[in-house]
Chain A
Amino acid sequence: MSAPESESMPRATPGIRLASCAADIVEIAALHGRAPELENIAGARGLDLPVLGRVAVASGQLALGVRPARWLLLAPPAHSGATAARWQAACGRAGAAVDLSSGLAVWRLAGPQVRDALARACRLDLDPQVFPAGSAAATVMAQVAVILAVLPSGLLLLTPTSTARHLRAWLASTAKPFGLVSEADVTVGVLSGDQAT
């Protein structure tokens, strides 16, 4: 009576594909009690800000909600600081926008064994039943802060730039049995599902 096989069975083909994404990242934050105003402001600009723990996709942009009354917005790269300045102006007296384009590295992880590899460090249950498409969360992996979000094209991972290389090295060695390949960079458009991969 052989036991049913372990699901973490490595394969010959790459189980994980990693692509970097160049994006303008802006964190918008609402002042105490003024989140609804900020939601209206974003809504008027075609972006429905998601509730906590969700990622929203709209017109080539992404918005992640992993902190109360704060959202991370990902947009295609524009002139240095221009996206942040636009949002800073839009926020008015309701909140503030801070440019984090250089502060966070953005990766997309795709492939059949992404969850198996991340389970080596991630305490969150990434089972689609529990963490379905559209979910977002902030956590710690390999002692490094990460933000995860499930997009149709794969798993989005954001991590501080100063430790990104450390996390990348950890991922490379951890994912070795599953096969890890680097792919060409993707755009925010691809992440948001507007363009085909």
Chain B
Amino acid sequence: MRAPGRIARGLLTDPDRPVGFRFDGRSMQGLTGDTLAAALLANGQRLVARSFKYHRPRGIVTAGPEEPCALVDVIGVSGREPNRLATTLLLHEGLVAESQNRWPSLRFDVLALNDLMARFLPAGFYYKTFMAPGWAWERLYEPLIRRAAGLGRLEAIVGDHAAPAETVHDHADVLVVGAGTAGLTAAHRLGTSGLKVMLTEQDVVLGGGSLLDARWSAWRESVCTGLAGLATVRCLPRTTVLGAYGHGVFGALETLSPPEAARFGGLRERLRIIRARRVVFATGALERLIAFPGNDLPGVMLAGAAHQYLRRYGVAVGRRPVFFLNSDEAYEAVFALSGAGIECVVIDVRDSSLAAERARALGVEVHGGAVVEGAYGRDGVRTVRVVDVTGRARRELAADCLLMSGGHSPATTLASQLGARLTWQEAIAAFTADLAPVIGQMAGAARGVFGLAAAARDGESAARTLAAQLVRPVGAAYPGVDLPPDADVTPIAALWEVRGPAKAFVDLQNDVTTADVRLSFREGYEHVEHMKRFTTHGMATDQGRIGGLVGSAVLAQARGVPLWQVGQTRPRPFAQPVPFAALAGGEVREHYRPKRRLPLHDWHEAAGATFVSTGLWLRPLVYSHRQGWEAVLNEARAVRRSVGITDVSSLGKIDVQGPDAARFLDFIYANSFSTLAVGRARYGIMLREDGMLLDDGTTSRLAPEHFLVTTTTANAAATLEHMEFHLQAVWPQFQVLLTDVGDQWAQFAVAGPRSREVVAAVVAGLELSNEAFPFMAASVATIAGVAGRVFRISFSGELAYELAVPARHALAVWSAVLEAGKPFGIAPYGLDALNTLRIEKGHVTAAELNGNTSADDLGMQRMLKKHDDFIGRALAQRPGLAAPERLQLVGVRPLARAHRLRNGLQLVAPEARTTSLGYVTSSTPSVESDGWVGLALVAGGRRRLGQRLIGTSPVHDEAIEIEIVSPHMLDPENLRVRA
């Protein structure tokens, strides 16, 4: 079964390998190598979409990524994927595609009524029309407008079905973007110069415009063979450079070929981050549309697209084409179609040209000095009305497609992203970009040099310039094949618009007409960027590639200034839509962010721990998988009554050494450390420069010039950075060395009234009596045969020791402690029990050290040094930071023992229940007493001890009576820790 539009053998298609697919429920057949668009055209499917705003029928306009209209949904295993371009989507067996933005069907779309109401829906209409009542915009108007307008709908594609993608970093001396004759020549020359070259091409094959000209196939074969033989050149077809970010960094998206996708486990896309010393933009030129009434009818296409469908896929886009053009370059399509036996009629705005003469000699009917006044037909082009440029002689031509070409604009998007200035070139009626030589070169049609041979020579000259810059001898030219000569051409005659009564579009994807652009001017939006925002011209996913300049030209005409004064809107990355999955790359699911595991992670897991993420760490929350507080309270009770052990290896640990170590710490900490004796530990607080609390922890003096700083788990990285910054930038003369030893040392807290007996059983060479090793003592010791450190510090409020050993010995030492603790019923406790114990004791953690609290707020004002300087001292003395009405740390208890507390509970006075006096920061059921206890930050809290407030959580519909108490709810005299 041969599709009606398939009239020849295509360069890319295989006639022996048919492919079945479905479009809007209709089964069709294409060929391997087809894009969806080529297969649809071959099957005579001209109507493929409804437009964004007016729901007008639309067809395929281009043959590449610049396509504004032929966007489809693809239905696959991963769900419905919207806005895929039919012009780049490769056909595969079983492909299911559907048209978008229509209901109930593509042929009969209810909202096509919008088109009839168009005079009430001009650009910006909704901002003017839907103004009152104010509430209705969000709730009524916007949802309705969003449903009526728009293209594909995004369905959440989540879970294991998300299309896999990855990111790859690449490096090259020169990145060559585009593999037409200019890019191929440049890459080859640079490669033979010994430079490392990366050549990217968005097409599935290399060759660019030379693919459309049979005379060039020998040359192309020769260069591609030459490139394949160069070890330093990498060619990446199917790869689109999306962004140029400066300093030689480029982002590119590679779509994997089916065999490579299979090898990479179904991987579909690869984001390439390319770093190159220089770039060659050989990105070619894009054909422009012409704005005339009916220029959006299915069947109105770019002339070059018709040429591509014929050469690449053997598909005739119509049997009775009318060409509407203004340059000799566009005649290449005429020659190709007429050579394939299709009878062509040409409407050329110019009176005469060399190409027109050649066409006439081939028997083509050419009407010089004429324009198309309009294209007509119901769901596609049927007639074309032509008028003499003088406006007198009219005629109507029957046609099944209208192939337009308003000239070619160099593709300067990427250069513009790098700040290249655009210069108007009258000779080609387009802008070119001036790229700074230190960035690279424009080459070929991208520089406005049209003609395949001229572009190839231009690519060579770009390569020579770069090779000289990078101090390389220029390599040899490819051998053997001469460049087929370019034909002489008559210059283009600029033509942007043919005015008429019906809609003429400058942006087909966003339904922006010439009238919208003029309205924008009349409304005062005269700058091209303002016009863009008023009309949405060029804001669609195609970014106005084929009509952008036409919109500028219409604006220039309205303003009465030359086009170069209006200019173009500034393009930004991404040059083309990118799926989020490709940006996320491999950093999804379990690789979304790193997890830090404790040295004893496996032991905790085997012991039945439920883990909790704290920052990047996975820490045991409780050694039970059951819900509720019972297991937590059992763990905490063991500590209060006998002994428990917990893994505190996630604490930050910083080794501080050097002759100025003590002096340095005196500056870093708000309290003094130079007075700390060797073999002792001290609790310290550090402030930020602004006087607020940064972190707390204990620091031990292991030797006169050797300290060990511990930080909270949450602030470990920030504290090290803070210290490094001050050492490197503020006091570089200090003789101090900082080393992060957080992962080196495993640390366990052994806590409870029986902890001394347990620790004594595993520690050798250290007398543990209260006299020999009192509270806040620190020492090196041998622990279970391992050289380690013992600290008598307590976070639980009980007699406690912390044992530190190198992490690789963690399991042996932990096991030895458990063995030694067996007679006392030792049990491991998790983060929840640790919190219970510290809340009862009134110790603070990240919940209270939240960046908004001062030392005074947390009752630590007396720790600040009175005389010597330290970081944050000056700003900590701001009177406001010690104001009596600031939120201060207190303890809280519900009056009724049955009531529970919640973190975040707001505290209010019974008589003023809508004024927050503060909130609960930490809460837990208590093991020391019945009921819950908590810590809170309360306005003037220290004056309120004994007061009764209401703890309220409106979102939970809760309000309970609570009492303000001292935060030191357990053993305020510190008798237990000193026992």
Chain A residues with Cβ below 8 Å from B657 are: 96, 98
* A125 & B224 in contact (Cβ 8 Å cutoff): no
Q: A3-B235, A125-B275, A143-B594 are in contact. Are A102 and B169 (CB under 8 A)?
A: no
* A123 & B594 in contact (Cβ 8 Å cutoff): no
How many angstroms from the CA of A80 to the CA of B789 in the assembled complex?
13
Stretch at the interface among A25-33, A42-50, A57-65: A25-33
- Closest A-chain residue to B263, C-beta based? A10
Contact of B734 (CB < 8 Å), options: A3, A32, A129, A177: A32
Contact of A3 (CB < 8 Å), options: B221, B237, B596, B733: B237
Q: How far is the CB of B162 from chain A (nearest CB, A)?
A: 15
Chain B residues with Cβ below 8 Å from A103 are: 740-744, 807
How many angstroms from the CA of A127 to the CA of B744 in the assembled complex?
32
Contact string, B578-604, partner A, CB cutoff 8 A, digits 1/0? 000000001100110111111101000
* B221 & A80 in contact (Cβ 8 Å cutoff): no
How many of chain B's residues have a CB under 8 angstroms from any CB in A?
A: 68
* A3 & B196 in contact (Cβ 8 Å cutoff): no
**Which B residues from 248 to 300 make CB contacts under 8 A with A?**
260, 263-265, 267, 273, 275
Chain B residues with Cβ below 8 Å from A110 are: none
* B595 & A163 in contact (Cβ 8 Å cutoff): yes
**A184 within 8 A of partner (CB):** no
* B743 & A160 in contact (Cβ 8 Å cutoff): yes
* B171 & A127 in contact (Cβ 8 Å cutoff): yes
Chain A residues with Cβ below 8 Å from B617 are: 162
How many angstroms from the CA of A143 to the CA of B787 in the assembled complex?
33
* B739 & A4 in contact (Cβ 8 Å cutoff): no
Chain B residues with Cβ below 8 Å from A10 are: 263-264
- Closest A-chain residue to B220, C-beta based? A1
Contact of A100 (CB < 8 Å), options: B275, B736, B744: B744
How many of chain A's residues have a CB under 8 angstroms from any CB in B?
A: 50
Chain B residues with Cβ below 8 Å from A170 are: 586, 591
**Which A residues from 131 to 150 make CB contacts under 8 A with B?**
142-144
**B693 within 8 A of partner (CB):** no
* A6 & B166 in contact (Cβ 8 Å cutoff): no
**Interface residue SS majority, chain A:** loop
**A119 within 8 A of partner (CB):** yes
Give the total number of A-B pairs whose CB atoms are below 8 A apart: 151
Q: A81-B806, A144-B594, A160-B743 are in contact. Are A4 and B228 (CB under 8 A)?
A: yes
How many angstroms from the CA of A81 to the CA of B789 in the assembled complex?
12
**B843 within 8 A of partner (CB):** no
- Closest A-chain residue to B655, C-beta based? A98
Contact of B168 (CB < 8 Å), options: A102, A120, A125: A120
* A119 & B743 in contact (Cβ 8 Å cutoff): no
How many angstroms from the CA of A161 to the CA of B746 in the assembled complex?
11
Chain A residues with Cβ below 8 Å from B746 are: 102
Contact string, A79-94, partner B, CB cutoff 8 A, digits 1/0? 0110000000000010
Contact of A7 (CB < 8 Å), options: B234, B594, B733: B234
* A96 & B206 in contact (Cβ 8 Å cutoff): no
Q: A1-B206, A31-B658, A170-B586 are in contact. Are A122 and B169 (CB under 8 A)?
A: yes
**A73 within 8 A of partner (CB):** no
Q: A7-B234, A142-B594, A162-B743 are in contact. Are A130 and B806 (CB under 8 A)?
A: no
How many angstroms from the CA of A123 to the CA of B273 in the assembled complex?
9
**B500 within 8 A of partner (CB):** no
Chain A residues with Cβ below 8 Å from B590 are: 169
Q: A80-B787, A102-B808 are in contact. Are A32 and B732 (CB under 8 A)?
A: yes
Could you jot down 15 A-B contacts, CB within 8 Å? A1-B217, A1-B224, A3-B224, A4-B228, A7-B234, A10-B264, A99-B744, A100-B744, A102-B807, A120-B168, A130-B171, A162-B597, A163-B595, A166-B594, A166-B596
Extra contacts besides A4-B234, A98-B739, A162-B597 (14): CB < 8 Å: A1-B206, A27-B739, A29-B737, A29-B739, A31-B737, A98-B744, A101-B808, A103-B744, A129-B196, A162-B617, A163-B594, A166-B595, A166-B597, A169-B590
Top 5 closest A-B pairs, CB basis?
Answer: A103-B744, A102-B807, A125-B171, A4-B228, A162-B596
